[in-house]
Amino acid sequence: MDAHIHAPKDETPTADQASGVSREQAEMFDLPVFCPLLPPKNSTTEQVLFALMARDLTQFEWLMAGNGWRLAAEIKELDYLGWEPISIRVNVNGWGRKIARYSLSPKAKQAAYVLYQQGGNHAHK
């Protein structure tokens, strides 16, 4: 196997180039099923899920709404429950450094709406 990564100079290699595994080879295996659990009822994690169904969210916005400093912990809990939250670093006015902006994919938002409409299973505390 060729140990060198072949990417044009000053460009980030693709996942295939970096891993040495071609996309055709990786697709031999089934992808995991997207099957998240709803957070415990009336939990802070459920509040975060509701908020992310409506909009993207930063710690700054969460704090200004009076919800405290533990947004990242609740986002991690959503990840453990299978929601696959998205996090990107952004600049926010009034904040010295980049902070995380959290969101859900359209697939996750649709799943949340369906689960709530169908009275889906909630995780236990």
Task: Please report, for residues 12, 21, 27, 34, 105, the alpha-carbon distance to residue 24 in angstroms, rounded to integers and kept in the order given.
Answer: 21, 8, 5, 21, 25
The CATH classification of domain 34-115, taken from the options 3.40.50.2300, 3.10.129.10, 1.10.10.10, 3.90.79.10 = 1.10.10.10
What is the model's pLDDT at position 2? 47
What is the model's pLDDT at position 57? 96
pLDDT tens across 38-90, in order? Answer: 999 999 999 999 999 999 999 989 999 999 999 999 999 999 999 999 999 99
pTM summary value: 0.72
Torsion from C-alpha of 50, 39, 72, 91, nearest 10 degrees: -20
Using the 8-state DSSP alphabet, how is residue 88 labeled?
A: E
64 vs 15, higher pLDDT: 64
Q: What's the chain's average pLDDT?
A: 83
- What would you report as the CA-atom Rg of the chain, rounded to the nearest whole angstrom? 19
pLDDT at 119 over 80: yes
In whole angstroms, give the CA distance from residue 88 to residue 15. 19
